[in-house]
Structure 1
C-alpha cells in the first residue's frame, strides 16, 4: 500500500537525518528498508537531501559478489528466477560477461535483462527446458517453478529472505551472508534463519564501507566496484559460508 510506503519512508528518512546531525559516517539500509518501489534503493533520500554527509549504503555490490562467488567452479549455465531487481541485473550481466550462460524462465524477464545490457548478449537465453542444476533465485519463486528443477539442483538465493524449501532432493544455500571475524564480540546471529556469528551481506556492507572510509553513497541505481568491495570485505576478516550442514545434494 502506498500510504504504508510513505509512513515507512518517513521513519527511515528521519533516522538518516538524525544520524547525519550526530556525525554518523555510514547508514546501512539493511533488510526491508530498501527496494525500488519503496525508496529507489535508498536513492530517494539522497535526491531529497543532496547535502547529506552521512553515506547511505544498500549493500548491493557485496550481495552480487557473494552470489557470484557461491556459484560452484566449472558451472557453465545457470537459471535466473525471481523478481528482477538491481542485484539480479548486475548478477546476470557479470555472469554473461564471464561466459556463463544465463537462462530465464519467462520471455518478459529476458526482454528486461537484454534491454538493461545495452548490447547484444549471446549468453542470455530463454530456457526451453530446465536442465540447469544451479538456480539463482529471488523473491517470487513459486512451488510450481521449483518443482521443475532437476534432482540435485543447487538453489542460491539473491533475495533477502530464504525461499521455501519444497524439494528434499535439492540443496539450498543461505541467503547472501558471511561469517563475522573473531574480533566481533557479543554476536549471536543477524537473522533467525542464519547460523550463529553469521551476518547478512546488506549489513556487512555498511561496516566495510565505514572501515574503508569510502566517501560515496551506494544507493539508488549506483553500485560500487564489485571486486573492490569483495576483496575489502575478505581483508577485514569476513568469510563466506559453506552449504548448510543438514542439506545434501543427492
Structure 2
C-alpha cells in the first residue's frame, strides 16, 4: 500500500499539463491588470510568485547546464561517475517542488490576506528573515531531516531523495575563503558537505549552515579536507580516458541535444521539437563562438568494465565537411585531438562519421602517415559497420543491389558478398540520392543504409533502415545521453567498432581501406563482449 502523501497529487497530469496549475496565478494577474479599475495590490503578490518560480527554474537549469559542461567542470566534480538514464528518469519531475511552493504561497495569501500588501523590499524585513532563518528555520530543518532518516519516514518519504547516486555537485567555492575566515565553514554549506550526506547518510543534515551539525555532533569530519582536495584539482588533468570517440556537430538543432543544454532532452533519441525553436538563435550564437574559439571539448562519458570512455567534439558543423576550403582547418583540429589523446595516454581514439571522410583525410591515413610514432591507436570503426550491415541481410540472399560501391564501406561489402557467392549489382551514385533515382528500385525494396547523411524516405512502398548501430553491453555505467537519433544505450557501429578495438587490445591502426578478412573477426569479438545488433533486440 502506498503511504499517504508519498506522491505528487498532480502526477496523473503528466510532465506538461501540470503547468496548468500556474493558470490561476496568470489569470489573477491578467484580470487585475486589464479589468480592474483600481487594482488592490494582490496581483503584484501573484506576479511575484510567478517571477520567483521562473527564476528558481532558470537557476536550476543554469546549474544543471554548467554541471554538465564537462569540458569546464570535470576536475571539480566530487563524484566522478556519470549520471545514468535511471537517475535522469527519477529526477524528471524535479520542478514539482517549485509548483508546490507556489501553491503554498497561494494558500498563505488566502489565509493571511495582509501578505498581499507587503512591500517588495524592506531592509528591516530582510534582517528579521535572516534572524528567523538562523534561529528557527535552520535548526528546525536539521531535526526534521534527522527524523526523516528514521526507518519508516525514510522508506516511505525520503528514500527517493537518496536514490540519486550521483548528486551533480561540484566545488565552485574557493577553499581559500574558508582558510582566510575559518568560522565561515560553519556558516556556508558546500557541495562536498551535501555530497557526503548522500554517501554517509548519518552526517551533515543541515540545509545551509553546518553550525548545527557541529553543535549536535553530526558534522562529517571529511567535509573540509575533501573540499580542499577537489578545489586544488582545478588545473590538473584528472582521470585519463582509455577510449575517446571524436564526434562533431551535425547541425544547429542537433547541437541542442547536448547534455549541458537540457539533460532530459539529451536522454532521449534526437528529434526536432517545437519547444526547441526559441533557443535556435542563441544556440547558433554559441556555436559560432565555439567555432571561433576552436577548442575540442568533452561532451559526455561512460564507464565499461572500469575503463573510462569519453566523447570529444570537434566544433564544426556538418555542412563544413563538404566545403573544399574548410578541409585543412578541419583536419588540423582532428590532428590536434589525436595528438592530445596521445599525450594524455589514451589507448584508442575513434573517428566519427565525417571526421574520417575518405575525401577529407583518407579515412584517417593522413594522421597515421604524418605521425608514425603515435602510441594512441587511430580507428575509423568501419570494419564493424560493414559487419553489422552484412549480418542484417537475410542469410539466404543470393542477389544484392548495391549503390555507392566505390566507397570504403561499399567496396568491402561488395567483396565480402562476392566471396559468399552472392551476386552483387552496382550502381554508382552519390550520398544525395534523388527521388528519381530512388524510383528505379522495385516496390518492396528495403534500403540498408551505411553512410552519412542518411537518405531521405521518399518511397511509401519501400522500407528504410536506420544507420548501422549496436547496443552497448549491459554493464555500461554512467551513460545518460543518446547518441543523436539512436535509442538509449545504442551507438553508431563505428563508435562500437572503436570500443571493440580497445577491448580486444588490437595494436594496429584501423584506417584507410577496410580489411575484408577482419570483418567476421570483429563481429565475433563484438558479440563476445556483449554488444548486440540493434535489429535483433526485441522492443
TM-score range, shorter chain: 0.7 to 0.9
User: Helix, strand or coil for the counterpart of 1:53?
Assistant: coil
Displacement of 1:243 in angstroms is 8.4
2:534 equivalent in structure 1: 241
2:384 equivalent in structure 1: 62
Displacement of 1:161 in angstroms is 3.2
Give the distance between the partners of 1:169 and 1:61, measured in 2 at CA: 31
Report runs of 4+ in structure 1 exceeding 4 Å deviation.
none
Structure 1 segment 102-113 matched on structure 2, within 5 A = 102-105=424-427, 109=428
What TM-score comes out, normalization by structure 2 length?
0.38
Q: From the two aligned structures, give the one with the greater helix fraction.
A: 2
User: Which of the residues 191, 199, 202 maps onto 2:491?
Assistant: 199
Displacement of 1:138 in angstroms is 7.2
1:221 equivalent in structure 2: 513
Structure 1 segment 1-250 matched on structure 2, within 5 A = 1-82=323-404, 84-105=406-427, 109=428, 139-185=431-477, 186-192=479-485, 194-221=486-513, 223=515, 225-242=518-535
Contact 2:379 2:510 in 1 (8 A): yes
- Summarize the Cα distance change of 1:146–1:40 in structure 2 as closer, same or farther, 3 Å threshold: same
User: Helix, strand or coil for the counterpart of 1:32?
Assistant: helix
Displacement of 1:206 in angstroms is 1.0
Give the distance between the partners of 1:145 and 1:42, measured in 2 at CA: 31
User: Helix, strand or coil for the counterpart of 1:173?
Assistant: strand
- Summarize the Cα distance change of 1:54–1:176 in structure 2 as closer, same or farther, 3 Å threshold: same
Pair member with larger Rg: 2
Which digits, 9 at most, give the CA deviation of each residue in 1:55-111, with x for residues without a partner? 000012101111110111211111111373111111001111111111123xxx4xx
Contact 2:403 2:410 in 1 (8 A): no
- Summarize the Cα distance change of 1:54–1:181 in structure 2 as closer, same or farther, 3 Å threshold: same
- Summarize the Cα distance change of 1:90–1:161 in structure 2 as closer, same or farther, 3 Å threshold: same
Contact 1:5 1:38 in 2 (8 A): yes
User: Helix, strand or coil for the counterpart of 1:178?
Assistant: strand
- Summarize the Cα distance change of 1:142–1:80 in structure 2 as closer, same or farther, 3 Å threshold: same
Which digits, 9 at most, give the CA deviation of each residue in 1:2-53, with x for residues without a partner? 3301000000000100100111110000121012210010000011000001
Give the distance between the partners of 1:83 and 1:187, measured in 2 at CA: 37
| Structure 2 residue runs without a partner (length 5+) | 1-322
Contact 1:160 1:176 in 2 (8 A): no
| Structure 1 residue runs without a partner (length 5+) | 110-136, 246-250
Give the distance between the partners of 1:216 and 1:174, measured in 2 at CA: 29
Give the distance between the partners of 2:467 and 2:514, measured in 1 at CA: 22
Q: Which has the higher contact order (CA 8 A, sep 6+)?
A: 1
Give the distance between the partners of 2:405 and 2:415, measured in 1 at CA: 16
Contact 2:409 2:514 in 1 (8 A): no
1:130 equivalent in structure 2: none
User: Helix, strand or coil for the counterpart of 2:369?
Assistant: helix
Which digits, 9 at most, give the CA deviation of each residue in 1:88-143, with x for residues without a partner? 111001111111111123xxx4xxxxxxxxxxxxxxxxxxxxxxxxxxx9723221
- Aligned length, in residue pairs: 214
2:83 equivalent in structure 1: none
Contact 1:81 1:141 in 2 (8 A): no
Contact 2:401 2:424 in 1 (8 A): yes
Displacement of 1:222 in angstroms is 5.1
| Structure 1 stretch displaced more, 159-168 or 197-206 | 159-168
